[in-house]
Amino acid sequence: MDDDKGEPGLLEDSDGEADLSDDKSSKGENYNLSAINPQYKETWRTSSFQHSTKTCLALMREALLHHRWQEAAEYMACYTQRLEEPKHGPVVQDKELIWRIGTEILHHHPNSKMEDYNNIYERMKDSGFTNYLMISLEHSFHLLQNGHIKDAKHQLSVAESWRHGKKSAAQYKMTELILVYKGLLDYVMWCDKKSTLNRAEYPDRLDNQDMNNLFRAASVHLKEILKKPGVWDPFILSYVEMLEYYDDHEEVIRVLKDYAYDNKFPPNPNAHVYLYRYLERRNASQEKLMKVLKVLCALVPSHELMLEYSRLLLKSDQITNIHKALGIVLEMLDFASWRSSLDAWNLLKAIIKKLKSQSNWKDSVAEKMAARKDWWPALHFTRFHASKDSEELKEVKASLTKVLCPGLMLQYTAGQTTTEEGTGKKTSKRKRMSSISQL
Amino acid sequence: MDEEHTAGYKERCAVCSEVDWGISDEGRFYCRSCHNVIERTKEVVEPTFNPSSSRITTLSRGARTKTPERGQQWVICEGFQFILRNQADALIRLGVSPRFKDEVLCELWRSFLQKSGQAYASSLGRPSRTAGVTTVLHRGGDTESSTNASETDGDSCNAGSARDWSTFSGSLDAVSYLSGHMRRTRHSLLSMKRTLALIHVALVWSREPLTLSDLLRLVNEGHVPYVNAYQELPDEMKLQGKDALLFRVQSVPSHQVVHSDAQALIGFLKLPAFPPISRQSLLHPSLLSLRYLMDANLPDELHPWVCRLMERAGMADQTLHTIHLKDCPSLPRYDVQTASLIIVTVKLLFGLDDRTEWELSHEACDQDESGAMFNPRRWFRVVQAALSRAQHRRTQEVARKQWVPQKPLLLSSQKKSVALKTKRVAEQVQLCFEKLSGRPVSVQRGDPSSFRFLWGVGDSADGPSLHQKKLDGILTLKNGVPTPSNSTYWRPALSASQMCSRLYSDVEATLPRSFVWLLQLFCFLLDVKPAYLLQEVLRVEALVVKGNGKRGRKPGSMLRTKIQTWA
């Protein structure tokens, strides 16, 4: 029809008329989708059908944003006709819209039931292959959330064995996810079995066949995923739990160490935490523990385990370690989240106390505080803090002010709030107040 | 229950080496002992395919060629004939006189077929697949009878079966209809839009008060079959393949498009002079304006002013409204024209420059204690409230409108299975949400009415009626003759022809808001685009002001003219 396309009159004709430009096959051309996607451009080619569905989508969006779920459900019922768009067939975006918006409506609508969810998920899976795996995964999550573990597992099994054409990279990744969640579901079932274990029936707790099967099935998948770089926290925890139950400690150590120390994996503080906790459970030596925590310290200086680390360092009684501990605690207190922690301040007090046994402790403290002198007072020792902190904390902190910030007149004293922060001027009023505080 | 499907498959399962197959919900085979799902799916039986109804098969292509199913052979114009008949019947059910169909429409249709050479001609210009063979078809005089194609057919039968996949269609001549040769003589083509143009011309000829905007409104609301009209064709006429390009529409055409098509049709058919549209006929502005005044909730006293304006513009003459190929070859747009007249009258009386009408409202308010005077401000408030509600309702109706037919018509059969599957999916999802929301998707069509708004008292009224109000507040007596208090009249320095080349949004920015609002009101009533209406308003204004002295076009957006006496 190329010769006719030149005529301008043809353009007017198309309004309301069946789109004759579809008819290319009579000339032997291949039927290609036009380069301009006609559905999302408001040109003269936008038909009333597209206008209707666009309006429907806009109104549905309004209803969703205002949480009018009933109305949104009505519009969704009208929007499904978009799937039957005769010219080019439903577009992937339409199907995805219907899937996502549909499930959202079901989440919030008061009358939605499990059957509705199952229905919608199954239908949307039928509708196309691009989103199939993703929908399967979401479906199984939903079943899992509602306690239907076996159904969830079944969904994943079906999805696992699904194929469409050549496996694309995205499909490959999704399939991996599906496998690992299958493993996780096996673990969940294993946990269920464990909790209902009857001691009398199975005197040897390792002998339960079902549990063993589940364990084996789960470990296959979990092991696989742990070889690939990524963040797999829930999976590794479940795997470790199962391995501990079966007393396979070498495997646990190996898995945890790989997870924490393998450079290909993204830096993950949790990995070190898990390793530390495990070693703690196994009563490992202090050196080992400190080694693990050293790496964690570099990653997350404000981690709560830093308190542990400092305590360990303090216990070790070596001077370098004590200096290190001081540095660590000060770094922790740099962060606002530890500001009112009694433990942290007490620890700092203990370290300073221990340090005082050294001769040149003032220098080492000053060295550490050098960078902090400017802003620590504002961070910890203002009048506002004095009014907010508890009595115990105030005591501890007040006693440290002199040590940490010698030479500065701070208005942080236990017992009373005082006037504005001075800059060295000594007024008689202040003197009186500071004397009162020392009572 | 699955045994019948799986009986033939006796392979061993890859996982557990058993032969115990079942069919899952998705239609896939799975092993009953280990639940391993495999690729094989159950054959879906297609209920509509009837392999035993093949008529002629040829040697070429073998079993891949879809053989024509049982049904009569038909040509495109027959299909359109049925659709046209259904549309006319629908209009008659709505109250149009049967004369329109029996006397006018049929004659028009026959004359069209004859002029375009599709029927009633001794040598039909319609090319068939086999070149050089002219086929003669006899048609009964009765449009109702469904006649068979009789002697054509050894040739076109063979032609039909030997055609290849790309020219597949249910009708005999869809391919040739769409061919380049036919498209070049475009006026002889039939399309869904053409049916509306035919009906419009027939309605004008029979002087029915149904204007084009009314007709399009009926089509939009579904009272007149248009979208998916092909579903009502008799079952023997099978629509497939290329027929889709002609019969499947996804838009209702706009006023402008149908009007120009009707214009072209009149020219093509070389019709004689139409029956005259006199002042007594309902299409004439003098009577049609009554209807629009009522719909817009304007007082009845405005009508004499409209008539006077009409006379001044020289539009009262019936020859202007009657189509005659020599005197008045253009098809008048009765509805748009009348609306423009009303707009110009309102503009004359109220000013509509964002200032005068409010001042007049103040005065009317001050003078009036009883509330019997027409107050523009009150009118604006009442109508605006109703208008915004009605526009919102219309948007919702547009959003909820269902376009998909029960019987899908696809361009190529290859996609049929996919289309059926998506249809099933869509229906089930729709059912789920219908159940959830408790509101069925298909709307019950209420009875159509000529009026968009209902003014008066009562629950279903859109607002209080202002029809009985007096216009005394905006009129003053001058020399014993009531004249509008508003003494200036402004016009945009734009002619109707210049309007074509400008963007409406640019022009609209220069116009006063009250005027734009009035345009929007009438656009809503008539369902046309504002640019279209503005063009007509400019044209009518030019006619009214014509002969008002030679005024040079000042550069600038407005021209103000002193209103002279309107005696």
Alpha-carbon gap, residue A270 to B358, rounded angstroms: 72
DSSP characters over A75-116: HHHHHGGGGG-TTT---HHHHHHHHHHHHHHHHH-TT--HHH
Q: Quick one: pLDDT at residue B520?
A: 94
The alpha-carbon radius of gyration of chain B (Å, integer) is 31
Burial annotation B458-478 (CB, 10 A radius, 16+ → b, else e): eeeebbebbbebbbbbbbeee
What sign results for the dihedral spanned by CA atoms A103, A109, A113, A115?
negative
Alpha-carbon gap, residue B245 to B178, rounded angstroms: 9
Ranges A108-117, A420-429, B207-216, B501-510: which has the least confidence: A420-429
Per DSSP, helices labelled H in B493-529 are 496-500, 504-510, 513-526
Q: Quick one: pLDDT at residue B395?
A: 92
Statement: residue A3 has pLDDT above 50: no
CA nearest neighbour of B324 among B284, B271, B281: B271
The average pLDDT across B457-462 equals: 82
pTM score, whole prediction: 0.71
What sign results for the dihedral spanned by CA atoms B425, B431, B432, B433?
positive
Q: Tell me whether residues B253 and A55 touch, CB distance under 8 A.
A: no
Q: Tell me whether residues A89 and B398 touch, CB distance under 8 A.
A: no
Contact A344, A338 (CB under 8 A): yes
Interface list for B 156-195 with A (CB within 8 A): 166-167, 175, 178-180, 183-184, 186, 191-193
> Which one-letter DSSP state was computed for residue B147?
P
Q: How confident is the model at residue B563 (pLDDT cuts 50, 70, 90)?
A: low
Q: Which residues contact B146 (CB under 8 A, 6 or more apart)?
A: B72, B78, B234, B236
The average pLDDT across A246-264 equals: 88
As a whole-number percent, the residues of chain B with pLDDT over 70 amount to 76
User: Coil, helix or strand for A7?
Assistant: coil
Statement: residue B462 has pLDDT above 70: yes
The nearest CA of chain A is from the CA of B302 a distance in Å of: 37
Q: Quick one: pLDDT at residue A63?
A: 93
Minimum-distance CB partner of B180 among A3, A58, A70: A3
CA nearest neighbour of B192 among B216, B217, B224, B226: B226
Q: Please report, for residues A222, A239, A252, A437, B461, the alpha-carbon distance to residue A268 in angstroms, rounded to integers and kept in the order given.
A: 18, 17, 18, 47, 68
Minimum-distance CB partner of B422 among A47, A55, A84: A84
Q: Tell me whether residues B186 and A49 touch, CB distance under 8 A.
A: no
Q: Quick one: pLDDT at residue A203?
A: 61
Backbone angles phi, psi at A251, to 5 degrees: -60, -40
Q: Quick one: pLDDT at residue B215?
A: 92
Burial annotation B191-227 (CB, 10 A radius, 16+ → b, else e): bbbbbbbbbbbbbbbbbbbbbbbbbbbbbbebbbbbb
Q: How confident is the model at residue B465 (pLDDT cuts 50, 70, 90)?
A: confident
Alpha-carbon gap, residue B56 to B46, rounded angstroms: 22
Helix or strand run (H / E) with residue A60:
helix A48-65
Strand partners, B226: B228
Question: Which residue out of A49, A150, A155 would a mutagenesis test of the B interface target, given it has the greatest number of B Cβ atoms within 10 Å?
Answer: A49
Give chain A's mean pLDDT.
Answer: 78
Confirm or reject contact between B253 and chain A (CB < 8 A): yes
Minimum-distance CB partner of B408 among A22, A71, A86: A86
DSSP characters over A8-41: THHHHHTTTS--GGGTTGGGT------SS-GGGS
Contact A123, B429 (CB under 8 A): yes
pLDDT tens profile A306-359: 888 888 888 888 888 888 888 888 888 888 888 888 888 888 888 888 888 877
Alpha-carbon gap, residue B181 to B176, rounded angstroms: 8
- Identify each DSSP E strand in B345-500 by its residue range: 475-478, 481-484, 488-492
The average pLDDT across A44-56 equals: 81
Q: Which residues of B touch A8 (CB under 8 A)?
A: none
Alpha-carbon gap, residue B492 to B496, rounded angstroms: 10
Interface list for B 382-401 with A (CB within 8 A): 395-396, 398-401
Q: Tell me whether residues B426 and A81 touch, CB distance under 8 A.
A: yes
Q: Which residues of A touch B29 (CB under 8 A)?
A: none
Q: How confident is the model at residue B391 (pLDDT cuts 50, 70, 90)?
A: very high
Q: How confident is the model at residue B152 (pLDDT cuts 50, 70, 90)?
A: very low
Minimum-distance CB partner of A16 among B252, B418, B428: B252
Ranges A181-195, B28-42, B177-191: which has the least confidence: B177-191
User: Coil, helix or strand for B100?
Assistant: helix
Alpha-carbon gap, residue B262 to B200, rounded angstroms: 7
Q: Which residues of B touch A89 (CB under 8 A)?
A: 415, 418-419, 422
Q: Quick one: pLDDT at residue A123?
A: 85
Per DSSP, helices labelled H in B95-152 are 99, 106-115
Contact B500, B535 (CB under 8 A): yes
Q: A411-418, long-range: CB within 8 Å, 24+ apart, which pairs?
A: A411/A381, A411/A382, A411/A383, A411/A386, A412/A380, A412/A381, A412/A382, A412/A383, A412/A385, A412/A386, A413/A386, A413/A437, A417/A383, A417/A386, A417/A387, A418/A383, A418/A386
Q: Tell me whether residues A55 and B399 touch, CB distance under 8 A.
A: yes
Exposed, middle or buried by CB within 10 Å (0-12, 13-18, 19+), for A268? middle
Contact B410, B419 (CB under 8 A): yes
Q: Which amino acid is at B301?
A: E
Statement: residue A286 has pLDDT above 50: yes
Alpha-carbon gap, residue A169 to B201, rounded angstroms: 61
Q: How confident is the model at residue B517 (pLDDT cuts 50, 70, 90)?
A: very high
Q: Hey, what are A205's tokens?
A: 């707790």
Confirm or reject contact between A32 and chain B (CB < 8 A): no
> Which one-letter DSSP state was computed for residue B551?
-
Contact A412, A395 (CB under 8 A): no
Q: Quick one: pLDDT at residue A406?
A: 77
Give chain B's mean pLDDT.
Answer: 76
The nearest CA of chain A is from the CA of B439 a distance in Å of: 7
Q: Which residues of A touch B403 (CB under 8 A)?
A: 48-49, 52, 81
Q: Please report, for residues A118, A234, B265, the alpha-carbon distance to residue B248 in angstroms, rounded to integers and kept in the order given.
A: 35, 55, 22
A-B CB pairs within 8 A amount to: 184
Strand partners, B393: none
pLDDT tens profile A132-152: 888 888 888 888 888 888 888
Alpha-carbon gap, residue A13 to A19, rounded angstroms: 9
DSSP characters over A128-189: -SSSHHHHHHHHHHHHHHTT-HHHHHHHHHHHHT---SSPPHHHHHHHHHHHHHHHHHHHHH
Statement: residue B390 has pLDDT above 90: yes
- CA A40 to the chain's CA centroid: 35
Strand partners, B22: B30
Interface list for A 115-174 with B (CB within 8 A): 116, 119-120, 122-124, 126-127, 154, 157-158, 161, 163
Alpha-carbon gap, residue B288 to B211, rounded angstroms: 10
Confirm or reject contact between A108 and chain B (CB < 8 A): no
Q: What is the ipTM of this complex?
A: 0.73
Strand partners, B470: B373
Q: Hey, what are B127's tokens?
A: 């090319």
The average pLDDT across B199-211 equals: 89
Statement: residue A65 has pLDDT above 90: yes
Alpha-carbon gap, residue B34 to B17, rounded angstroms: 9
Q: How confident is the model at residue A434 (pLDDT cuts 50, 70, 90)?
A: low
Q: Tell me whether residues B398 and A51 touch, CB distance under 8 A.
A: yes
Q: Quick one: pLDDT at residue B259?
A: 92
More confident residue, B226 or A35: B226
Quickly count helices (H) and strands (E) in chain A.
22, 0
Q: Quick one: pLDDT at residue B146?
A: 32
Q: How confident is the model at residue B478 (pLDDT cuts 50, 70, 90)?
A: low
pLDDT tens profile B293-307: 999 999 888 898 888
pLDDT tens profile A364-374: 888 888 888 88
Statement: residue B31 has pLDDT above 60: yes
Q: Hey, what are A439's tokens?
A: 């009572």
Strand partners, B481: B478
More confident residue, B140 or B425: B425
Q: How confident is the model at residue B142 (pLDDT cuts 50, 70, 90)?
A: very low
The half-sphere exposure of B158 on its side-chain side, counting CA atoms within 13 A, is 4
CA nearest neighbour of B494 among B454, B534, B461, B448: B534
Quickly tell me which residue has 């070149």 as its tokens: B131
